[in-house]
Amino acid sequence: MKFRGKAHKFGDDVNTDYIISGKYKFKTLDMRELASHVMEDLDPDFARKVKPGDFIVAGKNFGCGSSREQAPLAIKYADVSAVLAKSFARIFYRNAINTGLPVVECDTDRIEAGDELEVDLEKGVIRNLTRGTEIAIKPLPGVMLRILSDGGLAAHFRKHGGFNLE
């Protein structure tokens, strides 16, 4: 999996309420509708600015807070191709993999807002095309790679009739 797009930068501890507010998520299962409010409390224009393939780039502990799976889904349905962060909160990280949103742990200090990036998940590298630099990706745990390569946990279950991780 290889993605190319622009970096949209956020800080540390971006919580799930900021990703998609509780006031929207309880109302609907229409993820396109939720995607129109993604990151709204941090950047009211984000949903309009983001282009298909772009990246959310953040600091540490991205996705802390609630267990709402609407958070990775709202990001995915906003056509963001991957989230790059220094670290992720545990439940968000699982939810992202389960729903097929690539999450990448890496040193995001070397990426500025607006940088053009190419993320190569197979080779485990991010190419910062604006700055001509390369950033290594911390590899996904084996279990998560299996789930992601099956297309998410639902697809994994359909394929194997249950967990097939051990």
Q: Which of residues 133-162 bind another protein (CB under 8 A)?
A: 141-143, 152-154, 157-158, 162
Query: Counting contacts by CB under 8 A, is residue 48 touching another protein?
Result: no
Distance CA 163, CA 165 (A): 6
Distance CA 105, CA 133 (A): 17
Task: Give the x/- contact pattern for another protein in 77-106, rule: CB under 8 A.
Answer: ----------x-xxx--xx--xx-------
Helix (H) / strand (E) element for 118: namely strand 116-120
Q: SS3 of 31, please?
A: helix
Query: Counting contacts by CB under 8 A, is residue 125 touching another protein?
Result: no
The residues, ordered by sequence, that sit 6+ positions from 38 with a Cβ below 8 Å of its Cβ are: 19, 20, 46, 47, 50, 74, 75, 78
Closer CB to another protein, residue 5 or residue 63?
A: 63
User: How many residues sit in the footprint of another protein (CB under 8 A)?
Assistant: 44
Footprint on this chain of another protein (rule: CB under 8 A): 13, 15, 17-18, 21-23, 25-29, 40-41, 60-61, 64-70, 73, 87, 89-91, 94-95, 98-99, 141-143, 152-154, 157-158, 162-163, 165-166
